[in-house]
Structure 1
């Protein structure tokens, strides 16, 4: 039998071997290090940055500009040599790196602006893109800096493009790293902060490291990190330094099997912490808070690092963790998580919601349920910015497209020249024709420039020929209005001319100088729906012309304004004719015709182009009515191009309006045309019942219209809940067909929902059934009619919002449906008060 001493010896041997195993670190499959502008290789720690000359096979640039400095202002660190040389780009240039193993890769960019002859790098202004992501936009480096990004590379090459902001600007780079990241470093899921739930989709996100902080300890240099990361001390971020104290026990740190490793964070991070400075007061009750400056309008991945190095016995430390005002980890007990083993490394990931606040606060404090001595700790923290819906990590609109590595040849060059010449001639002819026609029909000012959908980083896209307009890529194009013309059309934005207010801003009725009535939507600078949706709306509506889609007449982006100008719809929204206003009630025939018109518009979006366009915000407030009550679908700010031909869905952050949102899209962040079909099914019941889709003032079982109406539909008693104004005025067959259509639209799984073409066919058939008695109709049971399905509406737990999860839930409104209403717990968490 083994003695106790031998047993302890084996434990220590195992522990030492485990430390050796973990200390070996990660071996990257791809490693590219370049010292830009340097004629020789540069060694930094264990890394060798190859000379600029050796890296020439990776670079494609029209000019070869290398600069250097003997500046003594560079901080003397092990990597300071990298900042003494740089490569300058006066035109768009790119690095193309071979990728041997797909997955997440670091991209680290080194910058130090200095002056060399005629090149003043401090005046540089440029953008950097990689894959389909905009990493930096309108970037002007200041001092020594390293920008760190991680991008999931799925192709055999990684292309990094540097583009000066304009012809008078330049871009530069001192050094560059492209290195594989361990698969386990960033997993696909995290915990969503607001609303609380599970977040999935991190694999598709580009991340920028904004802060990497070692709590309670000194700086950790890249030499002491297996992934060459740098960690900074936390003292500069503490809101009140006297409420916190430092503690260190680096040798005590243990890494659990299957959990955190030194690749997640080194022992020099887990072995130090900042804790409450309770001053031996058992009644201490305060939080330790750190404040970080961040870019508003983005989501952030926040990673907490914990290791209980302060406790002398297990189960004696309980504390709360906050992100801003959100309690994200109540009564956190590290001992229970780590099976009673102290000093064990542990980390937690959270994803914040997107908001307009430029400050992000992290707090820890004592648990209110614990009888133990009040204390709270934090060992390390990482804050990473996530790309927005446009694939941008910058406030600048991303117009990045995937680049392919092509070889120039004489034939291609000649073809391009000839093609360009022919295109110019044709454009000139079309220009003259369209110019005359447009002016004759619209009477537009000669100073209006064209809107182009061909790309660029600015929304100001007027032609350099200020006295005319040019034709864009398609035959449909909108016009850029001068701000003074919009002021004139709206009587200087007269408040008495306001016809609607939403999350984007106010909508004014206006009149152009040729007498055309228009609706002018003026963006509110404080709106959460800003530049991205402004651009999407212009791009989408510039492609469409359909009688059941609202037409875009023009836009204005002068003076930092975001103004959209549409055709005027005399009868406002469908919603206003159903409830909440003094509009006369619509007949059943009128309602059916409106639904048919809206279905035609959506059917065109889904099928009218090579790739479907998914509206993403179908609701009664976005269906407008003209003087003849003809329906037109509006508001394309959240629209998204559908999946490629070989794909089934688009993976994207969840956006839409609560109550209309497809539960499958909500759960899986996988968008298809069937998400629009679900929302339209909710609209159908809204049209039938003439009540808000979410009404917390009603009894619990009636709050959600879709759930409530489905219960009555499945029992065959839908007539019990219809709008009282329609009682006895709908033929039973028409109501039955309408109810069946809505039910099929609301199937839990998108694959079970009909396409919009079938929905349209059935609504037209319901109208026929209402207008005439059809006896023995052979089409009644044909395959053209939506088949019998048994969908089950997704049942959200309205009593507990924690059961609902989403990647990024942006409620684009219920307009004023919920104004002044006391809401239940779930709706207080998931519904924003502002409308679109």
Structure 2
């Protein structure tokens, strides 16, 4: 038996429990481990004679057995606590990830979207925006996104700072969409993004400053100055070029979804630039010309076919731009406060049905326009606002036709290439490239 028994081995313990009676001499067997407490107690009360001398690696005291029992309890308890700790740590990580996803636009921590390149666009803190705008002192306007403030960068560059309102019906997704688009598309008739702020609940966009506000303001009868016929046509052509670029010059093509006169901004030279790209959609698959999506846009400019079918195409933008053309022609509100013909397209339709082009055109122009050019613009506009998208022209066609109208207006005055007559005609245009979408 020498050198064969380990008292910690289950078979050894079973052998001793079953066979130990009377006297047991286990001396000099090089046993290891600890003698079971039961055998020691039997040896102490006289029911068993046990001799374990000559086993230096064997513990024959009661304390060894109790310590072993204690260890047998402690080890699983420690293991259980370790498992619990690992589980709690995993749950904490999961909850943190889930919370960050659910945080959305109103999260409490600052985010740095992975698509933002610090070389192309600057990231501002909210404190910096406060300094830039002189504590948001001068308000330029307010839209669906929030209020827009005037400001200066450190190099005295004028900027417009748009701050997202917590009450806005637009959210972080629209903010993200606008930043992503303006990082990837560039055209002289699209607004330029200078930077952004994404600091918890403080969301802001910093744009180039457009000194002459938006087109809607200048067409209003409250405007002190009246835009000339030539100035309006220049704005129409260049805005059309910007939209044409989105449809045919971008890969993938984009649909703006919120074209309106308030989203066509004018710089110090009255050069128009399309703004507000938060609702823009792109066609993810090459060759696909439509997508099904929830209706979004501004009442009065919305494509009726899109509203009925939820089928979005580039022709939805064409309809909206057609409404803008009707505003440029008439200077009338898109939705009038009348019981009949309250939409601008219905009113224009009734006027041209009577052959009355003179009273269709903004009366403040006092007849200072080319009649043939006016009829042609009205025709383009009315085709663009056709109820059926297949009857509407493409933006390529719109740009081409409007360019011809502008040439006719310039020729009427017999001064091609002459200096602009007033500030409302100070809009540059390259008619030689009007048929092709051109990047800035």
**Partner residue of 1:460?**
112
The alignment's TM-score, normalised by the length of structure 2, stands at: 0.70
For residues 707 and 643 of structure 1, the distance between their equivalents in structure 2, rounded to whole angstroms, comes to: 36
**Partner residue of 1:731?**
370
For residues 399 and 111 of structure 2, the distance between their equivalents in structure 1, rounded to whole angstroms, comes to: 37
**Partner residue of 2:326?**
685
Q: Is the contact made by 2:266 and 2:272 (CA closer than 8 Å) also made in structure 1?
A: yes
SS at match of 1:627: coil
**2:406 is the alignment partner of 1:763:** no
For residues 680 and 595 of structure 1, the distance between their equivalents in structure 2, rounded to whole angstroms, comes to: 9
Among 440, 462, 486, the residue aligned to 2:129 = 486
What is the CA distance between 1:117 and its match in structure 2?
4.2
For residues 403 and 83 of structure 2, the distance between their equivalents in structure 1, rounded to whole angstroms, comes to: 71
Q: Is the contact made by 1:642 and 1:673 (CA closer than 8 Å) also made in structure 2?
A: no
What is the CA distance between 1:642 and its match in structure 2?
2.8
Count of aligned residue pairs for this structure pair:
330
**Partner residue of 1:119?**
87
1:304-338 Cα distance to aligned partner (Å, 9 max, x none): xxxxxxxxxxxxxxxxxxxxxxxxxxxxxxxxxxx
RMSD over aligned CA atoms reads 2.7
Among 708, 711, 719, the residue aligned to 2:347 = 708
**Pairing of 1:398-477 with structure 2 (within 5 A):** 459-461=111-113, 470-471=118-119, 477=120
Structure of higher RCO (CA pairs closer than 8 Å, 6+ residues apart): 2
For residues 323 and 183 of structure 2, the distance between their equivalents in structure 1, rounded to whole angstroms, comes to: 28
**Partner residue of 1:663?**
304
SS at match of 1:632: strand
Change (3 A) 1:527 1:742: same
For residues 506 and 572 of structure 1, the distance between their equivalents in structure 2, rounded to whole angstroms, comes to: 14
For residues 315 and 103 of structure 2, the distance between their equivalents in structure 1, rounded to whole angstroms, comes to: 31
Change (3 A) 1:491 1:757: same
For residues 197 and 378 of structure 2, the distance between their equivalents in structure 1, rounded to whole angstroms, comes to: 43
1:762-814 Cα distance to aligned partner (Å, 9 max, x none): 1110111112259xxxxxxxxx99xxxxxxxxxxxxxxxxxxxxxxxxxxxxx
- Contiguous gaps of at least 5 residues in structure 2: 1-81, 414-433, 436-440
Q: Is the contact made by 2:213 and 2:267 (CA closer than 8 Å) also made in structure 1?
A: yes
Change (3 A) 1:522 1:470: closer
**Partner residue of 1:508?**
149
For residues 625 and 551 of structure 1, the distance between their equivalents in structure 2, rounded to whole angstroms, comes to: 13
For residues 488 and 708 of structure 1, the distance between their equivalents in structure 2, rounded to whole angstroms, comes to: 48
Q: Is the contact made by 2:321 and 2:384 (CA closer than 8 Å) also made in structure 1?
A: yes
For residues 210 and 167 of structure 2, the distance between their equivalents in structure 1, rounded to whole angstroms, comes to: 27
Change (3 A) 1:678 1:755: same
Q: Is the contact made by 2:351 and 2:357 (CA closer than 8 Å) also made in structure 1?
A: yes
Q: Is the contact made by 2:242 and 2:273 (CA closer than 8 Å) also made in structure 1?
A: yes
What is the CA distance between 1:583 and its match in structure 2?
3.5
Change (3 A) 1:516 1:470: closer
For residues 395 and 649 of structure 1, the distance between their equivalents in structure 2, rounded to whole angstroms, comes to: 32
**2:299 is the alignment partner of 1:647:** no
Q: Is the contact made by 2:111 and 2:199 (CA closer than 8 Å) also made in structure 1?
A: no
1:537-558 Cα distance to aligned partner (Å, 9 max, x none): 1111111221111100000012
**Partner residue of 2:34?**
none
Q: Normalized per residue, which structure has more strand?
A: 1
What is the CA distance between 1:503 and its match in structure 2?
2.1
SS at match of 2:168: coil
Change (3 A) 1:459 1:714: farther
For residues 548 and 646 of structure 1, the distance between their equivalents in structure 2, rounded to whole angstroms, comes to: 25
**Partner residue of 1:741?**
380
For residues 325 and 255 of structure 2, the distance between their equivalents in structure 1, rounded to whole angstroms, comes to: 18
**Partner residue of 1:84?**
none
**Partner residue of 2:29?**
none
**Partner residue of 1:285?**
none
For residues 110 and 153 of structure 2, the distance between their equivalents in structure 1, rounded to whole angstroms, comes to: 26
What is the CA distance between 1:124 and its match in structure 2?
3.5
SS at match of 2:359: helix
For residues 483 and 709 of structure 1, the distance between their equivalents in structure 2, rounded to whole angstroms, comes to: 47
Change (3 A) 1:513 1:710: same
**2:98 is the alignment partner of 1:139:** yes
Change (3 A) 1:491 1:717: same
**Pairing of 1:337-416 with structure 2 (within 5 A):** 396=104
For residues 738 and 709 of structure 1, the distance between their equivalents in structure 2, rounded to whole angstroms, comes to: 12
What is the CA distance between 1:655 and its match in structure 2?
0.3
What is the CA distance between 1:567 and its match in structure 2?
0.2
**Pairing of 1:145-164 with structure 2 (within 5 A):** none
For residues 727 and 657 of structure 1, the distance between their equivalents in structure 2, rounded to whole angstroms, comes to: 31
What is the CA distance between 1:486 and its match in structure 2?
1.1
Among 204, 225, 230, the residue aligned to 1:584 = 225
Q: Is the contact made by 1:462 and 1:480 (CA closer than 8 Å) also made in structure 2?
A: no
Q: Is the contact made by 1:505 and 1:524 (CA closer than 8 Å) also made in structure 2?
A: yes
What is the CA distance between 1:695 and its match in structure 2?
2.2
For residues 125 and 559 of structure 1, the distance between their equivalents in structure 2, rounded to whole angstroms, comes to: 21
Among 279, 298, 310, the residue aligned to 1:638 = 279
Q: Is the contact made by 1:519 and 1:566 (CA closer than 8 Å) also made in structure 2?
A: yes
- Contiguous gaps of at least 5 residues in structure 1: 1-113, 128-137, 141-164, 166-391, 398-456, 472-476, 775-783, 786-836
**Pairing of 1:757-836 with structure 2 (within 5 A):** 757-772=396-411
What is the CA distance between 1:743 and its match in structure 2?
1.3
Whose radius of gyration is greater, 1 or 2? 2
Q: Is the contact made by 2:289 and 2:314 (CA closer than 8 Å) also made in structure 1?
A: no
SS at match of 1:767: helix
